[in-house]
Amino acid sequence: MAATPNFAKAKLKSFVERIEKLEEEKKAISDDIREVYAEAKGEGFDVKALRAVIRMYRQDADQRREHEALVDLYRDALGMGG
């Protein structure tokens, strides 16, 4: 049996409302994260470096080693050595 137009409207409205609520929560979380970065900067930490460390922290050890090996390879190829 096909959904009635009223059922489809109600379902659509429910999806839209749920997505809107999640978008609001996402914005609030983004604002909170921005505040933590500002606090870290205020304490003298380099925010770019902190972001890079967080990106690496999310990776598993194998991914991180692979990424670091590639970065070293590229740096060597460009004569940047380390």
> Which pLDDT score is estimated for 2?
60
pLDDT digits (tens, 9 = 90+) for 20-61: 999 999 999 999 999 999 999 999 999 999 999 999 889 899
HEC readout, 43-79: CCCCHHHHHHHHHHHHCCHHHHHHHHHHHHHHHHHCC
> Which pLDDT score is estimated for 70?
94
> Which pLDDT score is estimated for 4?
84
Q: Which two tokens stand for residue 14?
A: 């429910």
Mean pLDDT of 63-72: 92
Boundaries of every domain in the chain: 11-77
Global pTM reads 0.67
